[in-house]
Amino acid sequence: MRMTFRWFGEGNDTVDLRHIKQIPGVEGIVWSLHDMAAGVEWPMDRIEEVKKQADEHGLNIDVVESVNIHEDIKLGLPTRDKYIENYKKTIEKLGKVGVKVICYNFMPVFDWTRTDLFKELEDGSTALFYEKAIVDDMDPMDLVNTINDNPDFTMPGWEPERLAQLSKLFDAYKEVSEEDLWNNLQYFLEQIIPVAAENDIKMAIHPDDPPWPIFGLPRIITGKENLRRFVKLVDSPYNGITLCSGSLGANPNNNVAEMVREFADRIPFAHIRNLKRYDNGDFIETSHRSEDGSVDILEIMKAYHDIGFTGYARPDHGRHIWDEKCRPGYGLYDRGMGIMYMWGVWDSLNRYKENN
């Protein structure tokens, strides 16, 4: 397992690269050019700038999250081909600096959805919270206003240029079914997976968050059966999965550890996150410790150990603790503790294997 840590860039993060370097076992950063609009070709000088910054701290830039996909590709519009060509060119540039994994998603309009960015837990910490009844009843623009009430940090997946087109996008998706979305995803994969293979970069789709339809929008990367269908769309080791325990774990019917074992050879990147589910469909994110949430992180780590996982992993969202002021879900302290919990489990499994 190769441990990484998400970093949003100089001037766009409360976490410095020197902080990340001090977390035991972290080899690299998970990064992106967050100011680049979906569909544009990334400039080489900006890519090389990030590499230079990481190199100065002895960190790799092997994992990019994300190169965002333009909505015209998801909608299957005739204009999609020019955006796919830009995507291919970006893949080629990332290959030149040693990138090995690109995490992306195929969610219409919204990359992720929460109703409260700082919901208080019993211990006084705060975390990202999803209240099902609110999402079921609210206008999407009300949700946008909630997310935008956080002016100090950019929120990936909620970029201003995307939100400015919200009404237009909802109208466009009225005629798009789940099957249409599958077809549009396959078209995209058939175009880019050969380019990814040529550049030795594994594409790793992120599950839908949460893993069910919202606001009438189709969602397709939601559980085991759909992941089985996904890997067959283009049957290549370069067509992989970012297995996110938190996104998939929001649905109690998803057994993440089973998925780790089934899709072992198609997981180049793991997001490890815990959450507490409620019977009414709500959930709140918690510490990584298994006992604090509804997702069995201990069993998931055991599954990764059992398959001999050598891919990249990162602690996903964390709580906001010790009065830290940070981007929602992305503080330093709780994610750092999450890494130590994961290493503790991993080291214990190594020791047990050595002695038995």
288 a catalytic residue: no
19 a catalytic residue: no
256, 207 Cβ separation under 8 angstroms = no
Sign of torsion over alpha carbons 187, 190, 193, 194: negative
326 a catalytic residue: no
**Phi, then psi, of 6 in degrees rounded to 5:** -75, 135
**List 70, 288, 305, 317, catalytic entry:** 317
| CATH code of the domain containing 169 | 3.20.20.150
Q: Residue 156's domain spans which residues?
A: 2-355
- pTM for this entry: 0.93
**List 111, 244, 282, 288, catalytic entry:** 244
101, 81 Cβ separation under 8 angstroms = no
**Phi, then psi, of 277 in degrees rounded to 5:** -95, 150
Question: 28-47 as b/e, with b when 16 or more CB fall inside 10 Å?
Answer: bbbbbbeebebbbebeeeeb
Q: In the chain, at which residue ranges do the beta strands (DSSP E only) sit?
A: 2-6, 26-31, 60-65, 101-104, 116-120, 126-130, 202-205, 239-244, 269-272, 275-277, 283-285, 312-315
pLDDT for position 215? 87
**List 316, 320, 333, 334, catalytic entry:** 316
**List 70, 111, 173, 206, catalytic entry:** 206
pLDDT for position 136? 87
- How far from each other are the two terminal CA atoms of the chain, in whole angstroms? 21
pLDDT for position 147? 57
**List 70, 271, 288, 305, catalytic entry:** 271
Quick one: DSSP state of residue 203? E
pLDDT for position 191? 97
271 a catalytic residue: yes
Q: How many domains does the chain fold into?
A: 1
- Work out the angle between the directed axes of helices 80-96 and 44-55 (0-180°, nearest 10): 30
* Tens of each residue's pLDDT in the chain, 356 residues: 999 999 999 988 999 999 999 999 999 999 999 999 999 999 999 999 999 999 999 999 999 998 999 999 999 999 999 999 999 999 999 999 999 999 999 999 888 888 899 999 999 999 999 999 988 887 776 666 655 555 555 556 556 666 667 778 888 899 899 999 999 999 999 999 999 999 999 999 999 999 999 888 999 999 999 999 999 999 999 999 999 999 999 999 999 999 999 999 999 999 999 999 999 999 999 999 999 999 999 999 999 999 999 999 999 999 999 999 999 999 999 999 999 999 999 999 999 989 98
pLDDT for position 164? 66
**List 330, 333, 334, 341, catalytic entry:** 330
316 a catalytic residue: yes
Number of H helices, E strands in the chain: 14, 12
